[in-house]
Structure 1
Amino acid sequence: MMLLSDQAGAKIPRPATLRESVIEAIQELIVSSQLKPGQHLVESELAQLLGVSRQPVREALQQLSGEGWVDLHPGQGAFVHVPTVEEADQLLAVRALLETESARLAAQHASEEGVRRLRELCSRGIQAVESDDTDAAVAINSDLHALVTALSGNKVLAELAAQVARRVRWYHTPVARQRGMTSWREHAALIDAIEAGDERRAAEIMREHTESTRASYREQRAGEPIEPAPKRVRRRRTRTSSAN
């Protein structure tokens, strides 16, 4: 007799908790630049914006602090993290490695349906750029890269890429307009290589594409440095005179 514990894949997906939903909402506000690096995060204002009480917001900010999205300054509160050029560069370098391999494998395994979906996303991305809709272009760009990784057929690679995807969107948003249509011409060439099954060419295009975004981010930060969040203010203790 087979026990229930022997059954694979029988678990019901757990719905997201309120705190998880708040975390995701705040991350999205940061990624989309509605909350900017260095901006003060007021619990009551976020709670009102998200339609929740202050408690899940407070819990979310604590967790986001541990994950590098938020900086907590004792005595001053929470601020959107200001990414250093070095940490952004390191993450974009890792992204380049992961996605170069994803593109190579996608050229091996992508089906006609997969290629069709890539071309549809590319077409939508071009329309977004032509309409000067940067937010849509960034979102579609993220979807296209995620699909390339999915088409690689390597689940571990897809999981690793997913872990950095949202932060990549955060770093890509400031340079999306600068990259403009060039980025989407590179996407089109990548899709051609994947459709042709040309692994070497697909990997080469993806490597150059991701490195171009990395270089653009460095240039953007050099030209428009972001002011860091306020430093902690040291409070002086008031001395009390002792009785004689």
Structure 2
Amino acid sequence: MPSHSGGAMKIPRPIPLRESVFEALLELIISGQLTRGQHLVESELAALLGVSRQPVREALQLLSGEGWVDLHPGQGAFVHSPTAEEADQLLAVRALLETESARLAARHATAEEVERLRALCARGMAATEAGDIDTTVALNSELHAAVTELSRNAVLGDLAAQVSRRVRWYYTPVAARRGRSSWEEHAALIDAIADGDAGQAATIMRAHTEHTRTVYLSRLAEEHPASPEPVRRRRRRGPLDS
């Protein structure tokens, strides 16, 4: 038998079923097929995915640990409904990361890489005009990831990847509302990257991410309007009041 001086030979292991179920449920949540606040019934999810209830239960625990699902004792599991504060904080961090990505991309992108961005942008605009929200959201995510990749900063890429899924979750409900303007902003960003104008690329990306943040928070406010403050009536002073 051959000897392996570098240590034990690594044998590829199959992905645990709970992780496959985790990924499937997460995609259903991000795409909106499982809606925010929806009660997640283990038996129904198991039938949908063609698995037993055990990996579904384990996957729900994993999703709960990452903030996608809320577990309520005695009631069950529910898709998490992000608060305005959660969304605002995450989208603010996203703006910081992607602004820096755009700035660095303008310094490093080659002509061939710029053409790839233009192709993605054209496909995204076509999907938007066709009303294909799923494709629009997927291409939006792909274009932003491509800009981050062009930054040539691996740490920045890792950090951006950590928030990208949740950003896609937030973007899906407002993709139609952002419409053509989002892709027009993308086109302007790509022009700045092509020109090697790092300052302009950063400015456009900052405004672009801020527009999405504002639209999302506006939509959230429409869905969950703040309760009016109770009117406090002043008691009339009587003769016994001092």
What TM-score do the two structures reach when normalised by structure 2? 0.88
Deviation per CA, 1:141-187: give whole Å up to 9, x if none. Answer: 00000000011100010000000000000011111111100000000
Deviation per CA, 1:92-126: give whole Å up to 9, x if none. Answer: 00000000000000001111221111111101100
Query: Residue 125 of structure 2 aligns with which residue?
Result: 126
Indicate whether 1:90 and 2:89 are aligned. yes
Written as runs of structure 1 = structure 2, the 5 A alignment for 1:1-244 is: 3-4=5-6, 15-225=14-224
- Alpha-carbon deviation of 1:15? 4.8
Query: Residue 234 of structure 2 aligns with which residue?
Result: none
1:154 maps to amino acid: N
| Secondary structure of the structure 2 residue equivalent to 1:33 | coil
Q: 1:212 to 1:11 in 2, by over 3 A?
A: farther
Runs of 4+ in 1 over 4 A off after TM superposition: 10-15
2:152 maps to amino acid: G
Aligned length: 221
- Alpha-carbon deviation of 1:11? 6.5
Q: Distance in 2 between matches of 1:11 and 1:115?
A: 39
Q: Distance in 1 between matches of 2:14 and 2:174?
A: 35
Q: Distance in 1 between matches of 2:173 and 2:124?
A: 16
Q: Distance in 1 between matches of 2:13 and 2:151?
A: 28
5+ residue gaps, structure 1, are 227-244
Bigger shift: residues 38-47 or 110-119: 110-119
- Alpha-carbon deviation of 1:16? 3.0
Q: Distance in 2 between matches of 1:210 and 1:15?
A: 38
1:123 maps to amino acid: A
Bigger shift: residues 99-108 or 109-118: 109-118
Deviation per CA, 1:195-230: give whole Å up to 9, x if none. Answer: 11100000000000001000001100111229xxxx
| Secondary structure of the structure 1 residue equivalent to 2:33 | coil
Name which one, 1 or 2, has greater alpha-carbon Rg. 2
- Alpha-carbon deviation of 1:48? 1.1
Q: Distance in 2 between matches of 1:11 and 1:208?
A: 47
Q: 1:14 to 1:202 in 2, by over 3 A?
A: farther
Q: Distance in 2 between matches of 1:121 and 1:164?
A: 21
2:220 maps to amino acid: R
1:61 maps to amino acid: L
Q: CA RMSD in A?
A: 1.6
Alignment identity in percent?
A: 71
Bigger shift: residues 47-56 or 155-164: 47-56
Which structure has more RCO (C-alpha within 8 Å, separation ≥ 6)? 1
- Alpha-carbon deviation of 1:18? 1.6
Q: Distance in 2 between matches of 1:13 and 1:110?
A: 36
- Alpha-carbon deviation of 1:54? 0.9
2:190 maps to amino acid: I
